[in-house]
Amino acid sequence: MASATRSEKLDLRLTSESKRMLHAAARASQRSVSDFVLESALARAQETLPDRQHFGLDAAQWEAFLTALDAPARPLPRLGRLLATPSVFEQDKSGPASDS
């Protein structure tokens, strides 16, 4: 792990059973609980993020992707009606109703 100075803190709540398991695993790997949890969490993050940040396309897929991006927007009449309809939060233009 890099030797950067740790300046941030992360708190979490866990069961006593989970805490015992983390302590046992840290002892078994001859690390502090903090190091064990941090290294484990970072490893899992590295497994989780790549497929959500980068995706690969072959040449045909890339061309189809670019074509889709360049295509004009298709009409969405229901969305148009929704945006043209005043919101329930918008006040009537005639002003507030009076009870008098």
pLDDT in tens, 55-79: 788 999 999 999 999 999 999 999 9
Q: Residue 32 contacts by C-beta under 8 Å, 6 or more apart in sequence?
A: 26
How does the average pLDDT of the chain come out, rounded? Answer: 87
Q: Residue 93 contacts by C-beta under 8 Å, 6 or more apart in sequence?
A: none
- The H-assigned helical ranges of 1-100 are 16-28, 33-48, 50-53, 59-70, 77-84
* Whole-angstrom distance, CA of residue 65 vs CA of residue 52: 17
Instruction: Give, as one character, the DSSP assignment of residue 16.
Output: H
Is pTM beyond 0.85 here?
no
